[in-house]
Amino acid sequence: MRSERNYVAGLYTRLDAERARVKGEFTAALRGTGGTPMERDFHVRALAKEAKRLDVADNGLCFGRLDTLSGEHSYIGRIGLFDEKNEFDPVLLDWRAPASRAFYVATGANPENMRRRRQFHTRGRQVLEFTDEVLGRPGVDERGDAALLAAVNAPRGEGMRDIVATIQAEQDEIIRLDHPGVLVIEGGPGTGKTVVALHRVAYLLYTQRERMERHGVLVVGPNPAFLNHIGRVLPSLGESDVVFTTTGGLVPGLRVTAEDPPEAARIKGSLKMLGVLEAAIADRQRLPEEPIPINLGGVAVQINAETAEWARDEARASGLPHNEARVTFTEIVTYVLTERAIGRIGRTWLSRSDRGAWERMRKDMLNELANDDAFTAALDELWPVLTPETLLAPLYSSLERLRAAGADPALLRADGDAWTVSDVPLLDELVDLLGRDKAADQAAAQAAAREQKAEAEYAMNVLDSLVGRQDSMDDEDHLFATDLLYAEDLADRFVEQDTRELVERAAADRDWTYRHVVVDEAQELSEMDWRVLMRRCPGKSFTVVGDLAQRRSEAGARSWAEMLEPYAPGRWIYRSLTVNYRTPAEIMTVAAALLAEFAPQVQPPESVRACGVQPWSRLVTEDELPAAVEEFGRDEAGREGTSVVIGPPDVPGAVAASETKGLEFDSVLVVDPERILADGPRGAAELYVALTRATQRLGVLHHGPLPQALTGLVEAGTPAQAGNQR
């Protein structure tokens, strides 16, 4: 034990030395003047990223050791460290390195030329104890259960923990899988599919950093609580170039959480909405019911239906998005009006042979139309500049417009712009269908340039003032910003490049493309959702995580092939996880009985452990319910770990099962399971999710008869009594 403690202490000494080295180089880089501002900025950012990588390694820096048959041994840890005197001699192997793989996959039957696997149990920088597993002998447990069970039995805290020290063989195979397309990871509750997907991202960033880090990774989860739960896993593994969002946040500027009723969500999620959107745009490309008079060059001309129809046909035939095709529409209408006006004016006094005079007249009329409010209003009426919001909101609030677009009347709502999660992929689709408003884009670009120039001038003025102050003081006693940056350099940085971090730039840019995308709870995504995500990753490099048995959305996936084959034909593969590391066998037995009723074709995952506490149920009246919920809360307050109450929305203190997807708690109280079960066609999936959130204790409160699938619960008098049943 002493030698291991000394070795790990030496690793921390090496870590501290690396931190000091990087910090020194970072400070020197800030003060440096060589190269261009962009080159210096790139160097500074690289050092800052390296410093961040070193900062995450304090907790659990080294968690294991591998001994080979020849007596050599290697230490495995959160990051890689090298000998100070020999930069090619590793003193700590990164868990993602090929040489570390045996730590996760070596078993008694296949020892991978290893004799022993040692796993450290640490607190802070201190090694408390270690567990040895001798490999290559009959009867040795292939899962390394000592360390695994210690991890899965530990009380839950805030946020998901990484599993870098306890990755199991079937998980490691998926994490290191070399597949350039779409990987589907399916597994029942507690199989670790989410954390496996996140570790796969860390592995890809480690092995393909140059290809991936310039564009980053997108992680899409079911709700903000889930993203908050998993948000610390990748940073704890030293990876920060990752954007986390829900499908409701895929359009910059929107953070939508409201959901449609099931029928509206199903309609909006179908690819049939593409035709509706196109028809809705076409409906806004109008012909005048009556000719529109325009005064041009002192004569009256008109935009009649025939002229508008010709212009509309030409604009549509251009194949351009709506807003960009407005240029063609405008050119045709302008041509007709100017020809008519010139014909009326010129035939009285101007010869056709005087081309110069004709052209000057035409130029004058074009300028006149460009500044004519009546002409602009006519264009806006017949071919308006549209945004996704100004197209979709009036569509939803008008039964007439819905009918004209061939849309289902179920989409009608009073508040057209009360956006829901199902609206987001439609708004995103409309960005491409409508195209850009070039005039607005140009104005925005000019405004941004003016703002950027002002920032640069401000920076120069501030630093110049510091120079003036420094000139009047003792240089040896005072350190000013000019010691770190020259004013011109800072100004150049404002002008030449975007100084935001990758995550900020990516999240704010609708057209940003990622090198890899992770989609969790992917069974809930609609056909329209997948179109958004595929646009975000042209290389079609995805890790897709889900469980079809837990699908609650009517617009969600019924098969992976149905959703993925159109976008990645022949480039997606399927892997499954079969071991439940979260849910104890006692609870999984109850959940499996429910699963057998609504999805008999699905095999429930096998629990890796038992907890010794039987899940219970208790019959209460409606008046007794609040007190029973409070009693559960008081009982759990005296225990270590986390707890949650899951139930219908009118239950005080309860959250919906859908809000707990992907989360886990030490103790769960499910209220009114019969009402959850009766809530629509996917009520059984909702209840299945609720039952499988607990890692230790599960209780159920019910008003009426207990659903048949839950009759395996032990009837208890109080939650406190139930919690002690073994």
Residues forming the annotated binding site for ATP?
187-194
Whether residue 643 contacts residue 723, with contact meaning beta carbons closer than 8 Å, is answered with no
Count CA atoms within 13 Å of residue 499 on its CB side: 15
Task: Output the known binding site.
Answer: 187-194
Whether residue 246 contacts residue 259, with contact meaning beta carbons closer than 8 Å, is answered with no
What is the three-class DSSP state of 628? helix
What is the three-class DSSP state of 389? helix
Closest CA to 232 of 101, 21, 59: 59
Which residue type does 5 have? R
45: buried, middle or exposed (CB in 10 Å: 19+, 13-18, 0-12)? Answer: middle
Which residue type does 574 have? Y
Whether residue 257 contacts residue 224, with contact meaning beta carbons closer than 8 Å, is answered with yes
Closest CA to 342 of 376, 299, 304: 299
Strand partners, 114: 68
Which residue type does 544 have? V
Closest CA to 624 of 556, 719, 550, 489: 719
β-strands 616-619, 714-715: how paired? Answer: parallel
Whether residue 224 contacts residue 659, with contact meaning beta carbons closer than 8 Å, is answered with no
Give phi and psi for 280, each to the nearest 5.
-65, -35
Token reading at 663: 């989360």
Residue 708 has what DSSP assignment?
G
* Cα–Cα separations (whole angstroms), residue 363 to 154, 302, 351, 356, 359: 80, 19, 17, 11, 6
Which sign, positive or negative, has the C-alpha torsion 358, 363, 364, 370? Answer: positive
Whether residue 594 contacts residue 670, with contact meaning beta carbons closer than 8 Å, is answered with no
Whether residue 78 contacts residue 95, with contact meaning beta carbons closer than 8 Å, is answered with yes
Cα–Cα distance, 267 to 272 (Å, whole number): 8
| H or E element at residue 390 | helix 388-396
What is the three-class DSSP state of 59? coil
105 C-beta neighbours (distance < 10 Å), count = 19
Residue 113 has what DSSP assignment?
T
Closest CA to 612 of 584, 592, 593: 584
Which sign, positive or negative, has the C-alpha torsion 20, 23, 25, 28? Answer: negative
